[in-house]
Amino acid sequence: MHGLLDISTLHYLVLGAALFLLGVIGVLTRRNVVIVLMSIELILNAVNLNLVAFSRYWQGMSGPHGGPMALHGQVFAILVITDAAAEAAVGLGILIAFFRNKETVNVDEVNLLKW
C-alpha cells in the first residue's frame, strides 16, 4: 500500500473519483438547471484531473509509450476543456431559450418532449 504522505498517482485518482461522485450526485438530485450544468463541469474536471495524473505517471515510466514526451494526457485534458467550453455555451443558450418560454429554470418542468 502507498503511504499517505507519499503522494502517488492513486491519490489523484481517488480525488478525481470523489469529485466525479459529487458531480453525479449534483446532476441526479438538484432541480436548478444552472447547478446541474455546474455539476457537469465538476465531472469533466474530475476526468481532467485523472488524465493529467496519468500523463505524469507515464512521463515517469520507461519504454516505448513512456518518457518525458508522454504528454498525451495533457493534450486530452486541453481537448476536454475545449469540449466543456462548447457544452457550457450551448447548454446555457438552451437554458436562456427555455427560461424565455416557461419562466422557470426547474429541471422537473423541462418536459416538452415527454410523451
Tell me the closest approach of the beta carbon of residue 115 to another protein, in angstroms: 20
Surface-to-core class of residue 87, CB atoms within 10 Å of its CB (0-12 exposed, 13-18 middle, 19+ buried) = middle
- Using CA atoms, how far residue 104 sits from 36, 57, 87, 91, in Å, is 14, 46, 21, 15
Phi, psi dihedrals of residue 66, rounded to the nearest 5°: -95, -165
19: number of Cβ within 10 Å: 19
Among 42, 63, 111, 112, binds another protein (CB under 8 A): 42
Q: Which amino acid is at 79?
A: L
Identify residues 50-79 at the interface with another protein (CB under 8 A). 52-53, 55-61, 68-69, 71-72, 74-75, 77-79
Q: Is 15 in the site for another protein (CB under 8 A)?
A: yes
Tell me which of 47, 64, 105, 111 binds another protein, using CB under 8 A.
105
Cell of 93: 443558450
What is the nearest approach in angstroms of another protein to the Cβ of residue 105? 6
- 63 versus 115: smaller Cβ distance to another protein: 63
Q: How far is the CB of 4 from another protein (least distance, A)?
A: 8
Contact between 96 and another protein (CB under 8 A)?
Answer: yes
